[in-house]
Structure formats: structure tokens, C-alpha cells
Structure 1
Amino acid sequence: MRDGTLGVAVIGTGRMGSDHVRRIDEVISGARVAAVVDLDGERAKGVAALVDGCAAYTDPAAAMAADDVDAVIIASPGPAHEAALLEAFARDLPVLCEKPLTPDAASALRVVEAETRLGHRRVQVGFMRRFDAEFGQLKAVLDGGGLGRTLMLHCTHRNASTPPGFTSRMTINDSVVHEADVTRWLLGQEITAVTVLRPAPSAAAPEGLSDPQLVLFETSGGAVVDVEIFVNCGFGYQVRCEAVGEHGTARAGDAHGLYVNAAGRWGGEIAQDYVVRFKDAYDREVQAWVDATRRGGVIGPSAWDGYAAAAVCEAGVRAQESGGRTAVTLAERPDLYRAADRS
């Protein structure tokens, strides 16, 4: 590191990658954007031009080989993640990898096995809800034991609309994947089975898209989790989770901001997308990654967590297609992740 500052290469300059470039340049302390990577060279140059001393690349390996790159953020499309992760492992570079770790359980397991061969963790997976203030408070309440054993979680995940080409499978792989991770994190249990119920589609759902859906998780500790996924609700972006315990309930995600009474009406604003709703969580997530990396450590969701979420999503897609309860199958967890996978 130059002068103690972490040089970061950001791979992928789409919406999430560009937002991370802005975040590191303007918000995060202890790091600088040393390089950006995109297959579209002109787009990479355009993003790099916004940051002093930032180089543009079209090849992730070339960026990782640069002398001033100490760590990597992977924000490219999911199918490109495995190759970038393995390249980072070959150079023993710390990585913050946006979800999904990889698009399927088999490739995610290969990443887990490759990291295990290194003998130490290098990956933090970008499940940003673990860094959201409300979800953190919910986790603390459940861990404190005051509500007794958690019996159920009621989850809501709504998007205003979907982009062209969004499919029913993507409701699981791109959206419910977050609830898969939140469930495992909040409860400290694995998800053992998935069922998907599909009501008649909303009139706002594009042709061929099953929307909304109700996803049910069963866990190794006997809890049941329901997830309402509604990706064309029309009015905004909402993510909530209510825990029902033996002695009470607690809920995160109401996101109460400014509350206005005027002109005969009362209410507030609903965020329109995840970048707005989880802005502070992303800031905390990246700052925590930078701080841990500068100390020589790794915190947060692990590659194992990314693999487990991928396995749950695979079972969820099969449950979508079959209409029946589908078991989740996991490989044996390596010792590398046993002590750290709940951090």
C-alpha cells in the first residue's frame, strides 16, 4: 500500500461498480480507486477519468497485476465472477465480491475449494443487508435471547419494476438470494428446503413473468420463513423482515425517514431502488472491508455464505418449476469457515 492507502481495482463499471468507484473516491477513508475494468474500454476510460490517478483496463488480470493494486472489488455480471476470483486468489489479493458469488452452486463450491487451498480467507461477499443499521439491530435482538427462540420470519421484498428480460428464475437468483443470506445470518441456521407458491400474476407483470410469488424456507433449527417477492409492485422499493419469537416480535426495514403532515395528508417517501434504500449499508460494508483488509484480515459474509445462498437459490428455482417442496443439499463445510461464517 502506498502511504497506507489501499489501492483498489473495481471490476465492472455498470451501476453497482460505478457507485463503488464514487463511494471509494468520495466517502471511504483509507482507500483509493487505482484501476477500473470493463469489457467496454470506452466506458472504463470514462469512469477512470473521474478519479485522479485511476487507470482503465479491459482485462481483469492486467488490472490485478498493476503495482498499485492491493485489493479488488468485483461488480461485473455473475458469470464472470469465478474467473476473476480465481485470478485474485492466484495473486492472493483480498476481494469484495458483489452477489452472487457465482451464478450456480457448482461454481461457487469451486471458489470455496480454491480459497480453502489458500489456507486463509480472501473473500467478503456483498450481502449488504448485514451492514444495514436496522437489520443489525434485529440481529442483536435475536442474539440477545430476549424474544426466546425464533419461530418464524416474515419477509417482504418489493421492487417498483423490472428491467427488460427479467425472468421468473431471476426473482430467486437476483432477489430472494438476499433473503436466503439474511435467514442464515439472523438465525444461525442452514436452510434445508424451499417451496414456491405462485398466485395469479399481477396485471403489471411483463408477459411470462410470475409476479408476485411466495417463497417458503424451512431451516435446520425448525424455523419457517416466508418471503413475499413482488418485483413489479409499482410504488417503490421495500425490504422488511419481522422475526416472531416465543416471547415477542421485532421488525426491521420500515426505514422511517422524514414524516410530513401537510395539505391534508401525512406520510413519507418510499425509496425507488436498492442503491438509495441501502446507501448507508453499502458505505459501511465497503468501509468495513477496507479497514479489515488494511489490518490483514477478512470480515463479513464468506465464500461459504455465497455458496450456501447459491445452493438455496438452485433449490428455489427447482421448486418454482416443480411446484413442490425441494430439499437443499450442501457440501461439507470446510474448517476454514466454521469459526468465521457468522461474522
Structure 2
Amino acid sequence: MQQSAPLGVAVIGTGRMGGDHVRRIERAISGARVAAVADIDEDRVKALAAGIDGCAAYTDPEAALADPAVDALLVASSGPAHEAVLLAALERGMPVLCEKPMTPESSAALRVVEAEVRAAERFGRRLIQVGFMRRYDRDYQSLKRRLDEGRYGRPLMLHHQHRNPSSPPFFTSAMTIQDSVVHEIDVTRWLLDEEITGVRVLRTSPSSARAPEGLTDPQLVLFETAGGRLVDTEIFVNCGFGYQVRCEAVCESGTARIGDDRGVVANLPAGGGGAGFHGVDVVPGFEERFEEAYDREVQAWVDAVRRGEAVGPSAWDGYAAQAVCEAGVRAQGLGGDRAAVELAERPGLYA
């Protein structure tokens, strides 16, 4: 049954992503309002709530869950805090949109999956959607439709490129898999509709001089899928020129590529006697590249919750992505040898 009143959302975690989601719910989408915000930073959460009519501020996430004005949760806190709030929400039968990672360890993610299966027996449906926003990007959705239609024949390979202008000084080689390549892991599973079964990682030598001490950059990550398809990802988190994401599907009867730079094409005169310039701007970060996808993701979640449904990436997708990440981190230490992905049996809830 469609809910008539706006959905009361509690945003858990109000840092960079959480704060952006608060703005999104208040200004960019329809059918929802921010009923509560929760964060360990009391000053920040009180200041944020003060600017929103009818919004309560909490430092304890469970207090936000208990607020009678809250119908659903958007979780954007740090990964290690996710499991506890997800389990509490499932116990209450409360719908959740959880930013990735669903949990930082696959063992914890599997506990969430098992808890959701039990909750579905009580409440009749899935309750968790995981925030893999690329599935809501128009270009990725167009590529998915074309592959599903068989327009180019069966897909045989995928090529991914994932480039960031720079990484923080604390960024590690493992984080390139867990924080960056996790997106290619999810879209690979989604585009091909099959699980990833093995990972290899090849490292450059020497590493880019732009990379912080101890970070190997760039890297080449290779996936094998259950159906025998091959997928490669170039991950380069200190490219220096901007944020760039591309994906090309190689199929039996053609290829299809997304992510070529879009926007105004400029021709500029030479400066200082050098060559002129022809090209387009490269966006500086993921927020600019995927802003619309985030809007569409949250809107789809709100619409589904108000209908009493669950859509989008599931808790199983969050678990499977984390299991592949763990294999990828193991593979970084294997000198190019294969690390197998270890998955539990998939419950019927996620069929």
C-alpha cells in the first residue's frame, strides 16, 4: 500500500556522504523528509538539525530508530558501525538504505544477510538496500539494458577504468580494492548477472611518483566469473588530471563503451608558443560524476519504501561484494596468482 505522508528518514552519520544525503532528501527528491539525524559529533548534528523543520538530533543511532517520526533509515556512518544499526533496524522491521560497505568484513555481512532472512519471515520482504549508486547512473543503465537485450551478442569480457586525481596520504593498497574497485566488483556482477569466482592483481613497478609512501599505484585487477568471462580493472587513484570512470563490454557481435568524457568541447589557442588545446573538462570527483545517480538511487529507494517494497542492490550484493574485496586484498600479496572467492550458499530471499 502506498504511504500517503512523506517518509520520515533518519540519516545515521552526517559526515561527507551523510550530509550530502540530508541535503538531497530536503532539496532534490520528493516523498521524504529528514525526521532525525544521528552522529557522534554532537555539535555537528545539532547544527544540522537546527536548519531542518521537525528534525531531531541524536548522538545514539538506536535513539533515532526509536523516534516515532522515523519510518526508515539512511546509514552513512563509518563501515565498522553499520552491522549494529542494521541488525537493530531489521529487528524493528525498518527499511534501510546503507552506504557501502554494508560491513567491512564478509563474516559480518553474512550475519546481516542471515538476520534479514529471518526478518523477512516476520515482515514479508527484504528491508535492506545497499548504496551501489552506479546501478542508477543513466549510462550504466543503458549498457545493462543493451546487454540484457542481447543487442551485441553474448558478453565475453569487460574492461573497466577507475581513475581518481589523488588519494589521501593514509590511503593503502588494500583500500584501492575495498574503497574503489568495490564499485567495479558490483557493476561486474550486475552487468553480467553472475558471481565473481576468482581475483588476480598485477602491480606496477615502479609505482607512480604521485602515490603516497607504501601505496602501489596504478594496479590491474583481473576477475573471473562463474560463467567463464574475464574482466579487467585499471585502478589509478593518483592520476592527477581528474575523476574518470569507464566501462567497455566486449561481446560476440560488437562492443559497447560508456564513460567517455561528456560536456562542452573546447578549442583553445596555444599559450607560450606551445600547441593549442582541443578537449573537454574532466570532473574533479565522484560527487560531480555521480550526483544524478545518487539522486535517482535515493528517490527509487524512497518510492519503493512508500509502496511497501524493496528494490536495488540487496544485502546479498553487499555480502558478495565484500567477499570479492577480501579475495582481492589476498591477491595483492600473491604476485599475480589467483585468489578464490569464498561465498556462502545464496538464500532464496535473494533469488
Fold match (TM-score > 0.5): yes
Do residues 133 (structure 1) and 146 (structure 2) align?
Answer: no
**Map of 2:55 onto structure 1:** 54
Instruction: Verify the 8 A CA contact 2:82 2:103 in the aligned structure 1.
Output: yes
Q: Deviations over 1:232-286 (max 9, x none)?
A: 1111111110000010000111241222234343222111111110000000000
Instruction: Verify the 8 A CA contact 2:38 2:61 in the aligned structure 1.
Output: yes
Where do residues 51-200 of structure 1 align in structure 2 (5 Å cutoff)? 51-119=52-120, 120-200=125-205
Q: Deviations over 1:290-322 (max 9, x none)?
A: 000000001000000000000000000000022
* Aligned-residue offset at 1:50: 2.5
Q: Give the Cα–Cα distance (whole angstroms) in 2 for the partners of residues 50 and 165 of structure 1.
A: 33
Counterpart selection for 1:331 from 332, 344, 347: 344
* Larger of the two Rg values belongs to structure: 2
Matched letter for residue 81 of structure 1: H
Instruction: Verify the 8 A CA contact 1:9 1:64 in the aligned structure 2.
Output: yes
* SS of aligned partner of 2:126: coil
Q: Deviations over 1:137-170 (max 9, x none)?
A: 0001101102111111000001111123111110
Instruction: Verify the 8 A CA contact 1:196 1:213 in the aligned structure 2.
Output: yes
Counterpart selection for 1:253 from 256, 259, 271: 259
Q: Give the Cα–Cα distance (whole angstroms) in 1 for the partners of residues 173 and 51 of structure 2.
A: 37
Q: Give the Cα–Cα distance (whole angstroms) in 2 for the partners of residues 3 and 145 of structure 1.
A: 40
Q: Deviations over 1:8-27 (max 9, x none)?
A: 00001111000000000001
Matched letter for residue 220 of structure 2: L
What's the C-alpha RMSD, in Å, of the aligned pairs?
A: 1.2
Instruction: Verify the 8 A CA contact 2:29 2:295 in the aligned structure 1.
Output: yes
Q: Give the Cα–Cα distance (whole angstroms) in 2 for the partners of residues 2 and 315 of structure 1.
A: 42
**Map of 1:226 onto structure 2:** 232
Q: Deviations over 1:112-146 (max 9, x none)?
A: 00000012200110000000000000001101102
* Aligned-residue offset at 1:3: 5.4
Q: Give the Cα–Cα distance (whole angstroms) in 2 for the partners of residues 272 and 81 of structure 1.
A: 28
Q: Give the Cα–Cα distance (whole angstroms) in 2 for the partners of residues 255 and 39 of structure 1.
A: 39
Greater shift in the superposed pair: 248-257 or 101-110: 248-257
Q: Give the Cα–Cα distance (whole angstroms) in 2 for the partners of residues 179 and 90 of structure 1.
A: 32
* SS of aligned partner of 1:89: helix
* Aligned-residue offset at 1:2: 8.8
Matched letter for residue 95 of structure 1: V
TM-score normalised by length of structure 1: 0.97
**Map of 1:341 onto structure 2:** none
User: Size of the alignment, in residue pairs?
Assistant: 338
* SS of aligned partner of 2:158: strand
Counterpart selection for 1:242 from 233, 248, 262: 248
TM-score normalised by length of structure 2: 0.94
Q: Deviations over 1:69-109 (max 9, x none)?
A: 00000000100000010011111110000001100110000
Counterpart selection for 2:326 from 314, 318, 335: 314
Q: Give the Cα–Cα distance (whole angstroms) in 1 for the partners of residues 264 and 345 of structure 2.
A: 47
* SS of aligned partner of 2:349: helix
Do residues 305 (structure 1) and 317 (structure 2) align?
Answer: yes
Greater shift in the superposed pair: 315-324 or 125-134: 315-324
* SS of aligned partner of 1:322: coil
Matched letter for residue 52 of structure 1: D
Q: Give the Cα–Cα distance (whole angstroms) in 1 for the partners of residues 50 and 261 of structure 2.
A: 35
Q: Give the Cα–Cα distance (whole angstroms) in 1 for the partners of residues 150 and 286 of structure 2.
A: 30
Matched letter for residue 320 of structure 1: Q
Over 3 Å counting, the alpha-carbon distance change for 1:255 and 1:95 in structure 2 is farther
Identity among equivalent positions (%) equals 67
**Map of 1:215 onto structure 2:** 221
* Aligned-residue offset at 1:41: 0.6
Listed as ranges, the gaps of 5+ residues in structure 2 are 270-275
**Map of 1:291 onto structure 2:** 303
* Aligned-residue offset at 1:287: 0.2
Instruction: Verify the 8 A CA contact 2:155 2:249 in the aligned structure 1.
Output: yes
Greater shift in the superposed pair: 40-49 or 95-104: 40-49
* Aligned-residue offset at 1:171: 0.4
